[in-house]
Structure 1
Amino acid sequence: MSWLILRLGFMSRKLRIIWLGLLSLASLTLHAAPLQVAVASNFMGPMNAVASVFERDTGHKLQLSFGATGQFYAQIRNGAPFAILLAADKETPLKLAREGLAVEATAFTYAKGRLVLWSKRANFVDNDGAFLKSESFTRLAIANPKLAPYGAAALETLTKLGLRDRIAPKIVEAANIAQSFQFVASENATLGFVAMSQVYERGKLKEGSAWLVPTSFHSPINQDAILLNPGKDQPAALALLNFLKTDKAKTMIRSFGYDL
């Protein structure tokens, strides 16, 4: 009888160890689950750089999705489990907060974008935009103005120049600013409106020719971040938002041509 009691006691201890091991494994798995972050396409370069340093410094893992702000808005409304939105405007994060899908108090401007008219061809685009009036090009790429703030800024620029209607037949509409860049990079479009971060590095144009559009030609491209409801209970979400406000992150963001 005493042998049986000892045997049961041994088994109970063994089961406890197994149970604690399973709990520890579950905890590790939960911690390792990457934070899902929706990021405006124009911010792909800087966000990849920021994410690399953030993951190294904190141990948190990120799963980045890049796309048009308007598309993310629709996905979030339909239940997409993003924890954070890094939008290409101020309006979308606040709209999500008003709809009860985000925490308004967490919204802040993480970058101020610059619009550029760019061609892969050297000495093709002049530095004052007058080239557009010559219409000596076949296709002009812009991001969908209904979904992408950079596309809306491009249309405002054409309106400011009095060219919106004249150039309309030559416009090739991209789904987002990343695709607008691809159209020009692949020369499926002669030139296009892109984000400065896509074609400049450390303040210098990487290739081709470009016109840095004056900020007075369009509404400010103030890009806001916000905590979404699925991120409320995820420590990594607040950690990332706080990291974006650090001098280390701001230095990286500025190096891609953004203002702060």
Structure 2
Amino acid sequence: MRPLIGLLLLALSAWANADRIQIAVAANFAEPLREIVAQYRQLHPDIDIALTVASTGKLAAQIRHGAPYDLFLAADSRRPRELAREGLGLPDSVRSYARGLLVLWSPQSDLMLDPDMLRSGAIQPVALANPRTAPYGLAARFVLDDLAVPDSVPLVQAENVGQSYHFAHSGAAAAAFVAYSQVREQGGSLWLIPEARYPAIIQQAIQLIDSPEVSGFYQFLFSDEGRAIIINHGYQVTDAE
């Protein structure tokens, strides 16, 4: 009798989650994705969508270890392509959904953030996401190297770009390298870093399972409505694969 009950519970669990989409999303894109999800659910109230927010590298590692995500929105192009090659997603589903911009931001409104302030250590410490797992952190590392910022300038390493923002916002860091989308309406001081100083941040996504519900949401992400939200949050959109 117990095995039968176990099978029944398993079947009920599968039925309950049939219309639930699990999305792994890079920290920088959490807010625009929440808005896209809210708009999509107005059209499809029967679809439940859950988000897991972390660094791109951490999420990719979780997927490799069997995390039950249906869709992965990364902050780079490398991880989705790697997962496709490893057979962990649908290869033909890899698409670019946004191009991000890197900024140096401080909640203090009276600062003139520029390369000289970084090099001199006039503003410190500076937060950045872990370059090994977070694409925006890697871009920040390129900027620091390009500007020849000395090692004597103290840095605070965050787990992801969301935590990097939190460090500056809370005062744990004087400034932080973050995505423009995170601070476009925050006030404070901002240096929009020239894109020539770091590799292009092309954010790609991959559909991890073949499901009508997941495909429906994925198509909405690239619809005019979805792209309008992405642009409104300070990203560029591209049709490049």
Distance in 1 (CA, whole Å) between partners of 2:55 and 2:148 is: 27
CA displacement 1:60-87 (0-9 Å, x = unmatched): 2210010001001110010000000000
Q: Secondary structure at the match of 1:172?
A: strand
2:98, 2:204 within 8 Å by CA — same for their partners in 1? yes
5+ residue gaps, structure 1, are 1-21
State the match for 1:143 in structure 2.
129
- Residue of 199, 209, 212 corresponding to 1:219: 199
CA displacement 1:33-80 (0-9 Å, x = unmatched): 421000000001101100100111123221001000100111001000
Q: Secondary structure at the match of 2:109?
A: coil
Paired residues in the alignment total 227
Q: 1:149 to 1:27 in 2, by over 3 A?
A: closer
Greater Cα radius of gyration, structure 1 or 2: 1
Q: Secondary structure at the match of 2:178?
A: strand
Q: Secondary structure at the match of 1:88?
A: coil
TM-superposed deviation, 1:138? 2.7
Residues 1:123 and 2:100 are matched in the alignment:
no
TM-superposed deviation, 1:125? 3.5
TM-score by length of 1: 0.83
- Superposed CA RMSD: 1.9
Distance in 1 (CA, whole Å) between partners of 2:138 and 2:198 is: 8
Superposed counterparts of 1:44-193, under 5 Å: 44-59=30-45, 60-126=47-113, 128-163=114-149, 165-167=151-153, 170-193=154-177
1:83, 1:227 within 8 Å by CA — same for their partners in 2? yes
- Residue of 173, 176, 181 corresponding to 1:197: 181
Q: Which segment drifts farther, 99-108 or 29-38?
A: 29-38
State the match for 1:250 in structure 2.
227
User: Following TM superposition, where does structure 1 have runs of at least 4 consecutive aligned residues deviating by more than 4 angstroms?
Assistant: 25-29
Q: Secondary structure at the match of 1:102?
A: coil
TM-superposed deviation, 1:235? 1.6
TM-score by length of 2: 0.89
Q: Secondary structure at the match of 1:100?
A: coil
Q: Which structure features the higher share of helix residues? A: 1
Distance in 1 (CA, whole Å) between partners of 2:75 and 2:103 is: 15
Q: Which segment drifts farther, 180-189 or 155-164?
A: 155-164
